[in-house]
């Protein structure tokens, strides 16, 4: 009799555990993303590129309508005064006008294609920046997790020493304050990491995905120093040569070509046009009932064409000025990115060769000396904060260095 309740309790407990397991929220699987695959995915589905593709289709459709004569005039007249007779009159421009219209349409297609190149370069830059931001956030979480673990252990040790009467209340409070500060920084870093994941996910069409980068940003320092030095050694000395392949510069250069072809089109339209007609001009019993009409459409209202030419010329000059402005801006941005690259390259060399090894030595030696009683608690805290400041600045230097290279490559059309 005593065993019967046990037999019924076990299935009930199993059912309860099963229900709890079914109700527990499933954790999303983390997706490790490579930079090159992220770029390709963004280029396939980004709406900015779909917009450019439709703009190209629009310009191609306009080119198919380059031969666009005016609508024919269908007339009814009574030349003999006895009855109404139908007729038609058509005005056709000279072939030069249609050839110029086709050139303008082709220039519009090329401009839309240059716009696609600009948007493609912009998407690549945005993905690289978002990927770098996620890498930096992940590295910060790792760094602060290590700091948090160390300070939590230090706080526990300080609590034991305080109970034993070996440290003061001030040292106990200071240790707790340092540990809480690091814990707060860790929570902020985790929030930044989730924000960086969403930003990259939006570019990839996966805003709610748990994304992770392929490599730890800290481990890319030595490789970054090598590739950065190679890049700086191959850059041209002149700014104009460095940004010559910029898609933005190519876009505004093609805009100048489009405006100049517009001037040629306006000049072609100043020429006379041909008028052809087919209409009854005789009596009903006439041998030849229908007769052709030939004429010339004279551009008599000259001020209209003159104002159109002036507008097209002003548009061309504005496009040329805009090209010069963009070239100046690109040169300025290139100089800034180049200066940042050189600055962070020197800083990274310092941290790789001197700063980072020193920070590791400070952490290990300060802990050993404190346990041996050779340094005070205050010196220990100061030493740890100094070492962690060096390591955090090292991470920031890698991020800023990569950011400068991303901007430099974007300006160079890479």
Q: Which residue ranges make up each domain of the chain? A: 32-411
- Are the CB atoms for 86 and 240 separated by under 8 Å? no
Residue 372 has a CB neighbour count (10 Å cut-off) of 8
Distance CA 406, CA 414 (A): 9
Contacts for 111-116: CB closer than 8 Å, 24+ residues apart: 111/59, 111/251, 111/254, 111/255, 111/258, 112/52, 112/55, 112/56, 112/58, 112/59, 113/56, 114/247, 114/250, 114/251, 114/254, 115/52, 115/55, 115/251, 116/49, 116/52, 116/53, 116/55, 116/56
How would you label 44-76 residue by residue, b for 16+ Cβ within 10 Å and e otherwise? eebebbeebeebbeebeebbeebeeeeeeeeee
Q: Are strands 211-213 and 31-33 parallel, antiparallel or unpaired?
A: parallel
Residue indicated by tokens 């940042």: 340
Closest CA to 280 of 112, 86, 95, 142: 86
Distance CA 55, CA 195 (A): 33
CA distances from 212 to 127, 128, 232, 302 (A): 14, 14, 30, 67
Q: Which residue blocks in 164-238 are alpha helix, DSSP H?
A: 169-204, 221-234
| Residues in CB range of 127: below 8 A, 6 or more apart | 35, 38, 39, 42, 200, 203, 204
3-state DSSP assignment of residue 392:
helix
Residue 158 has a CB neighbour count (10 Å cut-off) of 22
The answer regarding whether domain 32-411 maps to CATH 1.10.579.10 reads no
Give the pLDDT confidence score for residue 123 in this predicted structure.
95
Give the pLDDT confidence score for residue 300 in this predicted structure.
76
Say what the pTM is.
0.83
Give the pLDDT confidence score for residue 84 in this predicted structure.
76
Write out the chain's pLDDT in tens, 414 residues: 444 343 334 344 343 334 334 444 444 588 999 999 999 999 998 999 999 999 999 999 988 888 888 888 888 877 666 677 788 888 888 888 889 989 999 999 999 999 999 999 999 999 999 999 999 999 999 999 999 998 888 888 888 878 888 778 888 888 888 889 999 999 999 999 999 999 999 999 888 889 999 989 988 888 998 999 988 888 887 777 888 889 999 999 999 999 999 888 888 888 888 888 887 666 666 666 667 778 888 777 777 788 888 899 999 999 999 999 999 999 999 999 999 999 999 999 999 999 999 999 998 898 888 888 788 778 888 898 899 999 999 999 999 999 999 999 999 988
């Amino acid at each position: 009799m005593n065993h019967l309740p046990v037999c019924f309790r076990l299935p009930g407990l199993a059912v309860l555990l099963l229900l709890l397991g079914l109700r527990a929220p499933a954790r999303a699987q983390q997706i490790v993303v490579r930079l090159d695959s992220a770029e390709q995915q963004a280029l396939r589905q980004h709406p900015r590129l779909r917009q450019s593709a439709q703009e190209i289709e629009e310009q191609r459709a306009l080119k198919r309508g380059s031969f666009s004569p005016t609508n024919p005039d269908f007339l009814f007249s009574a030349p003999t005064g006895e009855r109404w007779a139908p007729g038609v009159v058509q005005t056709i421009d000279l072939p030069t006008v249609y050839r110029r219209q086709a050139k303008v349409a082709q220039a519009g297609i090329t401009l839309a294609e240059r716009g696609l190149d600009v948007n493609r370069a912009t998407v690549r830059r945005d993905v690289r920046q978002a990927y770098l931001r996620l890498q930096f956030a992940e590295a910060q979480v790792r760094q602060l997790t290590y700091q948090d673990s160390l300070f939590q252990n230090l706080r526990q040790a300080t609590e034991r020493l305080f109970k034993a009467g070996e440290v003061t209340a001030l040292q106990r409070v200071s240790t707790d304050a340092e540990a809480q500060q690091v814990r707060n920084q860790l929570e902020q870093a985790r929030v930044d990491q989730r924000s960086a994941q969403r930003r990259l996910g939006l570019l990839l069409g996966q805003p709610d995905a748990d994304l992770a980068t392929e490599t730890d940003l800290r481990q890319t320092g030595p490789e970054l120093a090598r590739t950065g030095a190679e890049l700086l050694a191959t850059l041209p000395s002149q700014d104009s040569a460095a940004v010559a392949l910029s898609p933005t510069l190519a876009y505004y250069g093609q805009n100048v070509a489009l405006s100049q072809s517009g001037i040629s089109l306006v000049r072609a339209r100043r020429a006379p046009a041909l008028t052809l007609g087919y209409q009854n001009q005789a009596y009903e019993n006439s041998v030849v009932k229908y007769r052709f009409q030939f004429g010339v459409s004279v551009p008599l209202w000259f001020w209209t064409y003159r104002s159109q030419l002036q507008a097209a010329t002003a548009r061309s000059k504005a496009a040329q000025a805009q090209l010069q402005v963009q070239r100046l801006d690109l040169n300025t941005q290139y100089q800034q990115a180049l200066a940042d690259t050189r600055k962070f390259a020197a800083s990274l060399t310092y941290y790789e060769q001197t700063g980072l090894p020193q920070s590791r030595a400070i952490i290990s030696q300060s802990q050993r000396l404190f346990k041996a009683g050779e340094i005070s608690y205050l010196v220990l805290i100061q030493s740890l904060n100094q070492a962690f400041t060096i390591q955090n600045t090292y991470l920031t230097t890698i991020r800023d260095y990569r950011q400068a290279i991303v901007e430099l490559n974007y300006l160079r059309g890479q």
